[in-house]
Each structure stands twice: as C-alpha cells, then as structure tokens.
A and B are shown apart, each in its own frame.
Chain A
C-alpha cells in the first residue's frame, strides 16, 4: 500500500467525532444571526404587494426563468432557514437540514441580489462549508439523529477530519483570493489612499447628509479616520498582508497563535462593519473550523449518543 500524499495526510487527520459534532453545533447556531442579518431586508417588502421585476437576476434565476420577486415566499424562507440551522446544530435530520439550508441560501440570496443587480459575497464561506458538512457524516455522532437509533458504523478519524480540513482550505482560499483580486484590479494603487478606504469612509460618514451643526449624520469616527491617509495606507497594507498571508494559519500548530491571528481578522471585519457598514461582521463564526470546540461542550456532548456499533 502506497504512502498517502501530503493532501491526504492533511485532509484525513486532525479531526475527531467530538470535534466534528461540536463544530457542527457552533456553525449551526452561530450562523443564525449571520443569516438573519443577511436576509433581514427581505422583510422590508410588502408581503402581498406588487412583485418587483428583477433588474438583473442572478444567473440561476435567469436560467430558471425566475424574473419576479415573490415577497411572501422570501419572507417564509427566512424563518425556515433559521429553523434548519438550529436542526443542523442539534443534528436533527442533519443532512436534510443542510440541504434545505443550501437551497434556501440560493433562493434568498438570489431574491435579495436580483432586485438591483448587486452580487454580495458574504454567503460564500458558509455555503461552501455547509456543503462539505452536508456531504459528511457530521449528523451521525452526538446528534438527535444518533439518538433516534441510527445503525451507522462509528466515525473513523478520516471521516471526522475531511469536512473540517476542506473547510479550512476554502476559508484560506477565500482570503487569499481577496488579496490577489486587489493586486489584479488595483495593483499597488490599492495602497494609495488606503485602498479606497478614505473615499469609502467619507461616503459612509456623509451618506445621509450633514446635520444642522455641520456634523455628518453617519459615523463621526469614520470621518475622523478619513483625515489620516497615511494611517489608512498602513491599514490597507495590513489588510493585504493579512489576506495574502491567511493560508499561514494552516501551518500554525498552537491554538493560541491561530486564535491571535483570527482575532485580528475578526477585528478587521468588526471595524469594517462599524466604519463602513460592510456586513461580514458575523462571518468569523466560520473560524470555528480552525479550532477544536469539543472541550467547550465535553460534558454536554457525552449526554448525546454516538452511533451504535
């Protein structure tokens, strides 16, 4: 038997059934506020009012001939999505719940983005991570499915590892693509003016106009920061370095070094949200795949059944 290659060694090790179950739990519950934020605007329609004719439907709506928004349908989809996330977290009909989530993300994202033609990328990581988990046996262990008398064989290490490792690879790729895109589109001009941050901060600060006192109706903090282009250039450089260097997190062995790096990325998303209303703020919940959250739930996990052998 030949030696496994480096990809196989990476993919099929490092996980455990406890880690897989705990990660499923964290992702399921952690993505509830994330998706609630993404699709909250779908409740800004009148449920049974006119059906907006999409200005630029997403490609799969176009292919399926979906040209109009059906407000009540999208509104119904949001609570079903949130319910499916909870079911996924608890391991109740896990694979079905994951598939429902994936389909509803496609539907709700399409409904939201087709109205004016913008494509948002915030759902990409959760979608791909949930896809890996849907294809895995994450629901066969420490789950309500297992409690219902599953006869599935116990999870092996490789089965518990690959969905987590594949998710780690995708998250790392997502960030490095962000850095590469900056270089491809803007080149080193990205660093001038702080990667457009000055312009964006100014736009966000004054987007609702100026008050009677001459102060912006938006974020004063953003306007204050916009006055320091050198600091913004440094921040832009830091962002570029963080994105291009993100795959290094896969090489960090110690949990605290990973935590430190990912805390920095989380701070970046938080600052983007506060200063520029960029809604990646709840995305860092997916960083759970870089840790073993099982010790946090050890006592509770062992109250749930593993599959019968």
Chain B
C-alpha cells in the first residue's frame, strides 16, 4: 500500500496555521493532555522557606522483597511485592513512595499551582482554585485489588495498604545531614467506594 496523497500549498499553509492555533491555545488554556501541553519541562518551584530539606530514600530491596503490607477483609495480612502486581520498578517507585503518601504526579501540582486565571475562567473556576484533583488513595486500592482480581465482598480483598519509608533531613543552608526517621503511611478502603467497584 502506498499513499500518494499530495497536499496543495494552500492546504499545507492551513495545516500549519491550524496546528499552531491548536497547540498555542492548549498552552494558553493549560491543557496538558498528550500530544498537547502547556508545561513541557519542570516548572514548579516555590520557595517554601523551610529550614531543612526532607528527602525520601528509595529502598529497592524492600519494594522487591516485601512491598506494601496489605490487610485483607478477613483480617489476615500479606506482603504485596512489585512482581505480585506486575509493574515496572520506575512505576513502583511512584506508586509506593508517592501515591501511598497521597503525593500526586507532578502534572497535578503544575495544573493546580499559580493563579493566572484564563484557564480557570474558561472552566468557570475562581482564580487559584484547583483545576484537577484525584483521590489517589482510592485509585491505588482499586488498582491493587483489581489487578489481584479481588472484589470488595471477597475475604481476601485488601482493605488497607501500609507503606514504609526512610526520610533523611538535611540542613536547608549547609545541606548537612540532620538525621533520619522511619515513616508509615496507611490507606484504608471506604465502604462507599464499593458501590461503583466494577470492571
């Protein structure tokens, strides 16, 4: 099969003009849906003025050998490792060390930051109002249970997920290590979520 379609010069011009109008409009309106974007690279940085940096250690061994601690509906516990849910390590970092702690993807932070109002005005939102939000706890529990093919009425349905991490604190000025601590996150299933739990 060979497609021999030829664009006329006028058609090529219109195509480029329309493409430009579409992509620049997406930029103005803060559309961030592939293949359109308004923030192609890192853009979020607001100085929080905190006296120290808190940095999370990522423990590959823990994620591979233990992972989340899942508490089932029948009260039993099990470890849910990366390979139990069959996700790549790069995604597991984000699921375990970010979503488990309610930390959204960078895109959500970018969409909701700033108070420039054209994009909000188009959506009928006041300046500064969040444009995007998602219940990451629910999404994570739904993903884990649906991947493991468990329904809310099953005895082995995961009703709680527990994640652990090590956080290192550094001095905000000298970056000298100040100490490390263990933190635990726990997300729990809510009864209301069972109503529309379906494939």
Contacts and interface: CB of A to CB of B under 8 A. Distances in A.
A231 interface: no
Nearest to A71: B86
Interface residues of A, number: 88
B39 interface: yes
A82 interface: no
Contact of A52 (B13, B23, B37, B147): B147
Interface stretch (A25-33, A204-212, A253-261): A204-212
Interface string B80-114: 00011111111100110011000011110010011
Contact of A46 (B4, B33, B86): B86
Contacts of B13: 7-8, 11-12, 162
A185 B105 CA distance: 16
Interface stretch (A16-24, A194-202, A284-292, A294-302): A194-202
Contact of B91 (A50, A116, A135, A200): A116
Question: Which label, helix, strand, loop or mixed, suits the secondary structure of the A interface?
Answer: helix
A206 B12 contact: no
Counting chain B residues whose Cβ lies within 8 A of the other chain, the interface size class is 35 or more
B147 A124 contact: no
B91 A115 contact: yes
A141 to B, nearest CB: 13
A50 B86 contact: yes
Given A166-B16, A208-B58, A124 B35 contact: yes
B71 interface: no
B158 to A, nearest CB: 13
A103 interface: no
Contact of A45 (B16, B33, B47, B87): B87
Given A50-B85, A166-B16, A117 B35 contact: no
B38 interface: yes
A51 B86 contact: yes
Nearest to B24: A173
Contacts of B35: 123-124, 127-128
Contacts of A95: 2-3
A171 B12 CA distance: 18
B87 A52 contact: yes
Given A52-B85, A52-B86, A210-B168, A202 B175 contact: yes
Contact of A189 (B45, B87, B95): B45
Contact of A96 (B1, B15, B149): B1
Q: Give the most central of A119, A123, A200: most B CB within 10 Å.
A: A119
15 contacts: A49-B86, A50-B85, A53-B147, A56-B139, A58-B34, A116-B94, A116-B99, A117-B139, A121-B37, A124-B37, A127-B35, A169-B20, A170-B23, A184-B114, A199-B53
Interface of B: 1-4, 6-7, 9, 12-13, 15-17, 19-20, 23-24, 27, 32-35, 37-47, 53, 55-60, 83-91, 94-95, 98-99, 104-107, 110, 113-114, 116, 134, 136, 139-140, 142-143, 146-149, 166, 168, 170, 174-175, 177, 199
